Amino acid sequence: MPFNFLHEAPRRVVIVNPTGRYAMAQVAAMRAAGTALVAGIAPGRGGTMLDGLPLLDDLSELEAPADAAVLYTPPEGVLDAVRGAVAARIPLIVAAAEYVPVHDGLKAARDARAGGCWLVGPNTLGLCIPGRTLLGSIAPEFCMPGRVALLCRSGTLTLALARLLTEAGIGQSAVIHMGGDLVIGRNPQDYLALLAADPATRAVLYCGELGGDKEYALAAALPAFGKPLVALVMGRHAPEGTRMGHAGALAGAARETAAAKLAALAAAGAVAVERPEQAVAALLRLTSAPSAG
Residues acting as catalytic residues = 246
CA 53, 127, 129, 115 torsion-angle sign: negative
Task: Compute the distance between CA of residue 87 and CA of residue 236 in angstroms, rounded to an integer.
Answer: 42
Q: At a CB cut-off of 8 Å and minimum separation 6, what does 110 contact? A: none
CB-neighbour burial class of residue 43 (10 A; exposed 0-12, middle 13-18, buried 19+): exposed
Do 202 and 148 form a contact (C-beta atoms < 8 A)? yes
What residues contact 15, with CB distance under 8 A and at least 6 apart?
23, 27, 30, 37, 39, 40, 41, 53, 69, 70, 72
Residues whose CB falls within 8 Å of the CB of residue 16, separated by 6 or more in sequence, listed in order: 40, 41, 59, 69, 70, 71, 72, 73, 81, 84, 85
At residue 58, φ and ψ (nearest 5 deg) are -155, 155
Q: Are 202 and 171 in contact (CB under 8 A)?
A: no
**At residue 47, what are phi and psi to the nearest 5 degrees?**
90, -5
**Number of other residues whose CB lies within 10 A of the CB of residue 74:** 13
